[in-house]
Every structure is written in C-alpha cells, then in structure tokens.
C-alpha cells in the first residue's frame, strides 16, 4: 500500500470557501495569554475590565433619544447610558471600534477577510440568518439580566474571582451544552 | 499608583483613544484565536474543538496572576477595581438565557464585532438582533432592573466569601488550568469524529 491519502477538495460556497487560503490560527493558550495581558492592562489603566454589551446599550439609548430624549432620561435602563446627552461618546463603543480595527488587521494578515455566512452544511443561508438574529436578541436579553456578557462577566469578573461572574459562566455553559443538541444541524 | 485613570486626569480624547488602543489588542487577540468564526466558537459545545475554553480560561488565569502580583507588590489595590455586584438569581437566569443566545446565534457581543470585521454576514445580523434585544429589554421589561437590585448580595468575591486569600485561589486556578488543559486534549481526541471536514483551525 502506498501511503498516498487524498482528501476531497473543499467544495465552493457551502462552508466558507475562503478558508482554503487562510493561515492557521494561533495556539489558543498563547492567544489566551496575550488576551489576559490586554485585560490586565485595561484594569491597570482604567480600574475596570473589558466589556462589550454596554456599547449596544449606548447605541440603543442614542437611537431612542433621536425620537424622545425625555423618554430616555425617564427610562431606568436607557438613562444609565445617556451620558448627559452624548450616548455615543461611550468608552465601550470606542473599545469596540478598536476591536473592529484589531480584528480586521489580524484577519487581513491571516487571509481571513471576505464576505461569507458561517453555518454548517445542513442549513440554508436564510435559516442561519434568522437564527443569528434570534440568537443575538436572546443573548442581549440574557446579558442585560446578568449585568454583563462573556467580556464583562466571564473574562473581567472571572479574573477578579467575582462570585456572580463564576455563576454566570457556569450557567452559560450549562445552557449552551444542553441546547447544542437541538441546534446541531445549524453547526455540524 | 495604578489604576492610571485614578491618578492622572485623562481628557475625554485621551480616554477614548486609550479605549481604541486597548480595543485593538482585544479584537486582534479574538480574531487570532479564531473567534471571528461562529463555527469555531460553537464547536466548543460539540466537544471536538475546545479553543473557546482554552483561550478564555488562559486569559482569566493570566489576568488573575497579574492582578495578584501587582497587588502583592503594592502597585495596585484590588479594592480600587470596579466589581459588578453579585446577584445569584440574576447571573444564573441571565447566564442561562445568554448561553441559549450564544449557541443559537453563534457569537457573543464581543466576538460579533470580530465576525463583522472579517466579513461574516451572520455576525452583522447577530449584532442587529442584539440591538433589538437591548432595545426590547429597555422598553418592555425595565422592571427587571429593580428585581436585580433587590436580589443583589453586593460585591462578593471568592476570597471574601470563603475567607481563603486571593493568592491561594490564584494558585488553585493555575493548577486547575493545567489539569483542564490535559482533560480538553483528551476530549478533543475522543470527539474528533464530530469535527466537520472543513472545520476552521
């Protein structure tokens, strides 16, 4: 037996065809170490950790303020992101602007930038996009109830041994592992 | 000495420029780890690629060690850092809901930005869904805020809860990370058959 094993070439379209030219990701423990240093620097500079959901809350407050600033000030959720009339000058929005640029640079270096829809081979693009919208809606709601997301609670709170953050992490993984079975066609 | 923001009076421009700079590092790391890809992110729940846990856990332990060293050296007082108050009920319920959104939508708030930056249309739709979700929360269920406040235990960390110091907990987490790393390698081999042929790695 000669040892020549041939793999089928990646089919076009179905699952992110630009992958074939992409470079490999970095070792996860190494990236984790770097991400930890970024988080540590954020604590050292600002006294708080990283966050992401706050930026979406700020944009929502801004959007609601376009129609009625009085309503935003009176609303117990929006009002905390009103920033005295400048909701878009939020620290977290600028953090995510930086994150966008950083991800774009990394993606360009790795040959991983190009329009695509991430999904498994057994769902249509349309189904995937409907599920993406629904998932975003649900995740946002959960993050608002939990007072943080993977960045604010899990990463930032976890590294400070915040008890609520550890409870949050446990709940996220419990819920996602159980539900994963039911949405498996979306991914594998 | 640290945090810097408590000792130096940052102008708004400096403050926001620092946000962009730190964000750059944040986004660069997330993309480098593969977290611009919803399939890479959700693979953690199908056990054949545990990159999400490896990156998150390593980051948490790295920061924990750093905070412990800085506070031991007297450069940074942990009590100066912002801590989100704990509400067991809110973090449990919110976490369960958030986990559902994560596995259905394929991203979390931060990684959706990474996905958008690298051209994932589903990440853009996820972010629009998030905006709608935040808006719905503020408009239709603002009463949840007072429930969270009412169920709050206040600032609560493992050291204050258990009386065991930050140093011991940090050491325990370092050991746990090494053990978990071995366990995850085993899991990935055990469930390698679940890995789709073109899985991004």
- Judged by CB atoms closer than 8 Å, whether chains meet at A186 and B104 is answered as yes
Residue A87, min C-alpha distance to chain B (Å) = 13
Chain mean pLDDT for chain B? 96
Section B150-175 average pLDDT: 97
- Judged by CB atoms closer than 8 Å, whether chains meet at B158 and A161 is answered as yes
- Judged by CB atoms closer than 8 Å, whether chains meet at A160 and B78 is answered as yes
Chain mean pLDDT for chain A? 91
Share of chain A above pLDDT 90, in %: 88
The minimal CB distance from B117 to the residues A46, A104, A183 is found for A104
Instruction: Render pLDDT for B64-121 as a digit per residue (tens, 0 to 9).
Output: 999 999 999 999 999 999 999 999 999 999 999 999 999 999 999 999 999 999 999 9
- Judged by CB atoms closer than 8 Å, whether chains meet at A106 and B148 is answered as no
This model of the complex carries an ipTM of: 0.97
Instruction: Render pLDDT for A90-144 as a digit per residue (tens, 0 to 9).
Output: 999 999 999 999 999 999 999 999 999 999 999 999 999 999 999 999 999 999 9
pLDDT of residue A143: 98
Residue A20: band (very low, low, confident or very high) from pLDDT cuts 50, 70, 90: low
The minimal CB distance from B96 to the residues A26, A76, A171 is found for A171
Residue A88, min C-alpha distance to chain B (Å) = 11
A77 touches chain B (CB under 8 A): yes
Identify whether the C-beta of residue B180 lies closer than 8 Å to the C-beta of residue A28: no
Share of chain A above pLDDT 70, in %: 89
A59 touches chain B (CB under 8 A): yes
């Amino acid at each position: 037996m000669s040892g020549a094993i041939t793999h089928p070439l990646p089919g076009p379209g179905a699952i992110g065809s630009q992958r074939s030219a992409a470079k490999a990701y970095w070792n996860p423990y190494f990236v984790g170490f770097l991400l930890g240093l970024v988080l540590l620097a954020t604590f050292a500079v600002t006294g708080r950790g990283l966050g992401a959901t706050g930026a979406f809350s700020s944009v929502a407050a801004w959007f609601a303020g376009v129609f009625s600033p009085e309503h935003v000030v009176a609303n117990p959720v929006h009002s905390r992101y009103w920033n005295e009339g400048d909701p878009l000058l939020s620290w977290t929005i600028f953090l995510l602007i930086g994150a966008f640029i950083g991800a774009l640079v990394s993606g360009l270096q790795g040959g991983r930038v190009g329009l695509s829809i991430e999904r498994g081979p057994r769902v249509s693009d349309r189904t995937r996009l409907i599920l993406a919208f629904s998932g975003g809606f649900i995740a946002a709601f959960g993050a608002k109830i939990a007072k943080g997301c993977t960045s604010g609670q899990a990463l930032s709170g976890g590294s400070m041994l915040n008890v609520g953050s550890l409870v949050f992490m446990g709940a996220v993984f419990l819920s996602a592992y159980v539900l994963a079975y039911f949405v498996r066609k979306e991914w594998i | 000495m640290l945090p810097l923001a408590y000792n130096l009076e940052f102008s708004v421009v400096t403050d926001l420029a620092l946000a962009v700079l730190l964000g750059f590092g944040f986004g660069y790391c997330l993309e480098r780890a593969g977290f611009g890809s919803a399939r890479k992110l959700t693979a953690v729940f199908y056990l054949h690629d545990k990159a999400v846990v490896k990156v998150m856990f390593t980051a948490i332990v790295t920061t924990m060690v750093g905070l412990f060293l800085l506070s031991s050296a007297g450069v940074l007082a942990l009590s100066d850092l912002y801590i989100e108050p704990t509400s067991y009920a809110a973090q449990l319920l919110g976490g369960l809901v958030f986990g559902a959104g994560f596995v259905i939508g394929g991203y979390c708030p931060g990684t959706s930005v990474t996905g958008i930056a690298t051209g994932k249309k589903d990440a853009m739709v996820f972010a629009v869904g998030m905006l709608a979700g935040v808006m719905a929360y503020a408009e239709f269920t603002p009463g949840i805020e007072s429930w969270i406040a009412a169920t709050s235990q206040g600032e609560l960390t493992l050291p204050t809860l258990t009386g065991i110091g930050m140093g011991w907990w940090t050491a325990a987490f370092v050991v746990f990370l090494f053990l978990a790393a071995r366990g995850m390698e085993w899991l990935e081999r055990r469930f390698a058959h679940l890995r789709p042929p073109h899985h991004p790695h």
